[in-house]
Structure 1
């Protein structure tokens, strides 16, 4: 599809690159999966802070891990439709998630501890930042098309 163009019915005279349309649809699917994974993340975050009395930063990291598990399964199957074997995709996903984990720690620490931002507002901002990192890394590397070395 790369390089193919078609007429945009909503805006006559405007040509749209079909690869950009595919990327938009894929990103939209990624966002939908992210909402599900984020729901798991936030449910744990709130429960651990409000019910268990765990610090917001620690609870955010625990929630990140649980949400990441949900994210892997849904992204591999529904967003990127990867043919990469699980052992290869899971290890790559774990590395990308580790960077995201570090970014979550960094931004939550800065926003909650240094800037005094309420933990839920800080988590919303952090989620937005980390989401773009995750999509780019998973698209380019984690779930890229599998090429057998043989």
Structure 2
């Protein structure tokens, strides 16, 4: 059981790397172009990354048999909570703690990886055994 959980977590992290890459590219492009600040840019990137992550996690990481009508709302509730936490952590780290925006994003990503994986495992893609 532990091996399955570890394998699934590694898969989740690998799939998440795709969404994270999209988020970081969006963050960097918007901040470096002086379009928006790092908190807003990070949140916009997180939305783009979440769309990619939903599909890849449904299809590959969890190989979910749940219909999208059931798993998508669950995923996006967790994504919305993650988005709020992402924004809050970025705000605290970049404005209050004066951490560089890319370092702040790396810390935020690590925190959210653990939290969203746990929520996805136990709620979003879990098929009830009834």
Q: TM-score range by the shorter chain?
A: over 0.9
Match of 2:80 among 88, 98, 101: 98
Shift of 1:147: 6.1
Note the alpha carbon deviations across 1:114-143, whole angstroms, 9 max, x for none: 010000000000000011111000000000
Bigger-Rg structure (1/2):
1
With normalisation by structure 1, the TM-score equals 0.84
Between the two proteins, the alignment pairs up a number of residues equal to: 130
The answer on 1:83 being equivalent to 2:71 is no
Q: How does 1:55-134 map to 2 (within 5 A)?
A: 55-134=37-116
Alignment partner of 1:50 is 2:39 = no
Cα offsets for 1:94-116 (capped at 9, x unmatched): 10001101110111010001010
Structure with bigger helix share is: 2
- Stretches of 4+ aligned residues off by more than 4 angstroms: none
Give the Å deviation of 1:53. Answer: 2.6
Indicate conservation of the 8 Å contact 1:40/1:63, yes or no: yes
Q: How much is the aligned-residue C-alpha RMSD, in angstroms?
A: 1.2
Q: Is the 8 A contact 1:84 1:146 kept in 2?
A: no
C-alpha distance in 2, partners of 1:68/1:47? 18
3-state SS in 1 of match to 2:35? coil
* Corresponding residue of 1:32: 14
Structure 2 residues without counterparts, runs of 5 or longer: none
User: Given the two structures, how large is their TM-score scaled by the length of structure 2?
Assistant: 0.96
Structure 1 residues 142 and 91 mapped into 2: Cα distance closer, same or farther (>3 Å)? Answer: same
